Structures are given as C-alpha cells and as structure tokens.
C-alpha cells in the first residue's frame, strides 16, 4: 500500500511540475467541442441534439491522445524493468499508474464538461447525468486503453496500432455514455444506461490491472 500511494504521489507531483503537458488532453477536449459547431451549424436546436454524442466523442479522443506516454517513460528509463523484478506487485504498479493518469487527465475534463455542455444548449437537467456518466465511463476508457498501451510499450512505432486495438472496446462505453445523457435531455430516466456503465466500470477496474500487468511483463521480456 505504501508503494502504491508513493507511486500516485510521484505521478501527481510530476504532473504538477509539468502542468502544460498534463493539460494537453483538456485543451484537445475543449478544441474539439468548440470547433465542431463552427464546421456544421450554430443552430441551438442542432447543437442540443448532438451535444451528448459530441461531448462523449471529445472525451474519448482526449483520453486516447493522453494514453501514448502512459508507460513509455517508465519503460525507457528502466523503472518498469525494476518493478518487474522487484518483490512489489506489478499489478499494484499498474493500478497506481492508471489511477493517477485518470486523476491527472480525466478529472479536469469532468469538471469543465458542464460548462461546454451548457454552451451546446444541453438542458440543465441532463448535466448531472453527464457528470455521472463521465465519472463511470472515463476510468473505463483509461483502464481499457492501458491494456493497449501495455501491449505496445516495447514497440517503436505504436501510435497507429493503439487506436486499432482499443477503439472496438471503447464503442460500448461511448454508446451507453452518450445514450444516458441523451435520454436525460429528453426527460426520460437514464437509470438503465447508468447501471450498465456501472457494471462495466466494476469489471474494468477489477480485471484491467491484471491484464495490464501481464502485458507489461511481456513488453519487458522482449
């Protein structure tokens, strides 16, 4: 537990020192949402209709952009290899890195998302569902993406391979996340979609660290 907390603290301190790099995904998220209406139409009705899907697509792409360096620096400086041969569990290392990455990249995104939602004329009653769906869905995006990153960490050219690996597994999260906000905006209950997201969330955060740890061992041994 001490090593787990130390890893999270280290990552947060490094993220604070390199604040510009840590906010790249947030800037990307905002640019996608702000530029999209310019490319189509500024109609308030149209923006309100596409807001749930647009916000979720922007969150998915922002998460994917931030994943590339998740384990790369640890692999290059030998930290990953030291963890693999140390008595500490590689699963706890994976857990700590994934959790700290989510805190650094996705929590600011969740905080700022309601402002972008209001700018897209999303009904105020759907804002709570939007926040809850992002709280359940963005950890899934990070943890699932972490498996793909772990598999491609040892490869020199993995930037194009990673989206091909993780996008098929992102689609259910995108569907239920956007659908929950959409039905809430129409005045219906989003309980069904949120329950499914919650179930996927539990499965993802429980099983993904084991898959990440196994994939990292394979990458280190190559």
Cβ neighbours around 52 below 10 Å, total = 26
Residue among 64, 151, 139, 63 at smallest CA distance from 99? 139
Residue among 133, 197, 159, 9 at smallest CA distance from 70? 159
Give the model confidence (pLDDT) of 133-154 as tens digits: 999 999 999 999 999 888 888 6
Residue among 41, 50, 38 at smallest CA distance from 121? 50
pTM for the full model?
0.89
Percent of the chain clearing pLDDT 70 (strictly above): 87
Q: Where are the domains of the chain?
A: 2-221
> b or e along 146-158 (b: 16 or more beta carbons within 10 Å of the residue's beta carbon)?
bbbbbbbbbeeeb
Mean predicted confidence (pLDDT) in 195-214: 92
- 3-class secondary structure, 77: coil
CA atoms of 210 and 59, how far apart (whole Å):
25
- At residue 129, does pLDDT exceed 90? yes
Q: How far apart are the first and last CA of the chain?
A: 29
Question: Which residue would you say has higher pLDDT here, 196 or 72?
Answer: 196
What is the band of 20 on the pLDDT scale with cuts at 50, 70, 90? low
CA atoms of 110 and 108, how far apart (whole Å):
5
Instruction: Taking each helix axis as running N to C, give the angle between helix 90-105 and helix 44-66, from 0 to 180 degrees, rounded to the nearest 10.
Output: 150
The chain-wide mean pLDDT, for the chain, equals 85
Mean predicted confidence (pLDDT) in 78-103: 79
What is the band of 1 on the pLDDT scale with cuts at 50, 70, 90? low
CA atoms of 33 and 55, how far apart (whole Å):
7
CA atoms of 104 and 69, how far apart (whole Å):
13
């Amino acid at each position: 537990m001490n090593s787990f907390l130390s890893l999270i603290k280290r990552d947060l301190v490094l993220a604070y020192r390199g604040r510009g790099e840590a906010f790249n995904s947030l800037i990307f998220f905002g640019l996608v949402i702000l530029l999209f209406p310019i490319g189509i139409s500024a109609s308030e009705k149209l923006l309100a209709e596409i807001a749930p899907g647009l916000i979720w697509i922007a969150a998915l792409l922002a998460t994917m952009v931030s994943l590339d360096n998740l384990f790369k620096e640890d692999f290059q400086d030998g930290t990953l290899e030291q963890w693999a041969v140390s008595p500490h569990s590689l699963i706890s290392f994976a857990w700590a890195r994934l959790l700290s990455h989510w805190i650094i990249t996705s929590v600011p995104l969740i905080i700022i998302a309601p402002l972008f939602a209001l700018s897209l004329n999303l009904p105020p009653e759907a804002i709570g569902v939007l926040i809850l769906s992002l709280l359940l869905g963005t950890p899934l995006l990070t943890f699932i993406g972490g498996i793909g990153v772990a598999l491609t960490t040892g490869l020199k050219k993995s930037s194009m391979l990673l989206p091909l690996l993780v996008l098929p597994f992102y689609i259910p999260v995108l569907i239920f996340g956007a659908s929950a906000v959409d039905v809430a905006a129409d005045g219906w209950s989003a309980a069904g979609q949120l329950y499914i997201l919650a179930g996927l969330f539990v499965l993802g955060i429980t099983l993904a660290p084991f898959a990440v740890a196994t994939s990292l061992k394979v990458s280190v041994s190559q």
